[in-house]
Chains A and B, each alone.
Chain A
Amino acid sequence: MSTGVFARPEKLHKRKVQKHNRFWTRRSTIVAAVVGALLAGGGAFAASSWVVGLNSGSSGESQSASVQNLTISAVATPSASNLLYPGGTGDVVATITNPNPFPVTLTAVQLPVNTSYAAGYTTSALSTAQTGCSSTTSDVTWNFATGTSGSSHSLTSALTVAASGSLTVTLTNDASMTASAPAACEATYFSMPSLTGVTATGGAATPTTSPATDSWTS
């Protein structure tokens, strides 16, 4: 049977409807795809827009250009409650500074090797070296440090440093002095060896009230 201009009117109408449906099916599919893609991209952006600033590819030891280094510095206030003695442990007081425009939450620290000793000073200003109690003789290390540099130790409680803020924390009994520490290290202030890193999470979080108390216990 011919499908040309001599087709019957009802068939002609059916063909028009089919053609119309095919057109709308194709158009609808394209529209659905475009709308879906836009929604997906927009939704993702809205959900984690701060990730863009942190470089979503940052992982492990790497660091995006937009993430600033944290600084952990020695401070004398508040003074340590638990003081070091031969064969014992003592508190470490530090201020963590976060230069980033978002809060950073610390969950663990990475320690240097256990033969990395603190240097001794005569005052809390850490400006005048204590004779006979140097970074080669003090026998003061981070507690639970191992023979391997970079060993990771979880904090008892996570510490959140406010955006562009700082947090002073007492790390309870996280410094250690061997039993053979020299007498020259008595009544001495110690600048602890540099940590090799921290494990931190960026993003919205309630800052920890300063001064805080925390520790790692293993």
Chain B
Amino acid sequence: MKRRHSFRWLVFAVTLTVGFLAQQPVGGAATHWTVSLKTGSGGEAQSITASPPTGATAKCTSPSAQTIIVSWNTPSPSTHLTSYTVYEAKSTTGTPGSYTSLKTSATSPYTTLTLSPDNYWFEVVAIYASKWSSAYSSATAETTIASSGTECQQP
């Protein structure tokens, strides 16, 4: 009698197990799959704005010197700003000519070397990530260098 009971339980257990396994997804595939995405599924990123320096000014080092001190403020935001370049324009008239690079990797305040007699204007550009240049800052007021008398003056 014991054997028969054991046999019955064995059949019961085997049937239960086989039935259960038959219902299961193969290798757990049903609960882990790669879903396709609709075309164009991405995201949005943004690049920095290369903001120019603000508040550029020019001052005579002294009335008797042919040098000028150029200063400016750090732009905001200034993330990844790596350096500044100072540009100068000169003209015998009251209107600045074209700007040319005067000093790269400059820091504020920047003092020029001795300048030849002329009228001078300055602008500053910020360089970001050693690659992108900002727009020019606003131009400084006109500064005049003379060969004699008051050698540096501002109208």
List of B residues within 8 angstroms of A201 by Cβ = 31-33
Chain A's nearest CB lies how many Å from the CB of B67? 33
Whether a CB of chain A sits under 8 angstroms from the CB of B38 is yes
Please count the residue pairs between chain A and chain B whose beta carbons lie under 8 angstroms apart in the complex. Answer: 232
Q: In which size bucket is the chain B interface?
A: 35 or more
Known contacts A62-B33, A63-B35; A191 and B44 CB within 8 A of each other: yes
Whether a CB of chain A sits under 8 angstroms from the CB of B45 is yes
Q: Which of B30-47 contact A (CB under 8 A)?
A: 30-47
Whether a CB of chain B sits under 8 angstroms from the CB of A60 is yes
| Secondary structure type dominating chain A contacts | mixed
Known contacts A76-B44, A85-B128, A197-B35; A48 and B12 CB within 8 A of each other: no
State the CA gap A79–B47 with chains docked (Å).
11
Whether a CB of chain A sits under 8 angstroms from the CB of B154 is no
- The 9 lowest CB-CB distance pairs between A and B, nearest first, are A40-B19, A44-B23, A36-B15, A94-B43, A59-B29, A74-B44, A192-B42, A32-B12, A86-B131
Which residues of A come within 8 Å of B, CB atoms?
A: 21, 25, 28-29, 32-33, 35-41, 43-45, 48, 51, 54-63, 67, 69-76, 79-80, 83-88, 90-94, 104, 110, 118, 120, 124, 126, 140, 171, 175, 177, 179, 181, 183, 185-203
Which residues of B come within 8 Å of A, CB atoms?
A: 1, 4, 7-9, 11-20, 22-27, 29-50, 79-80, 128-133
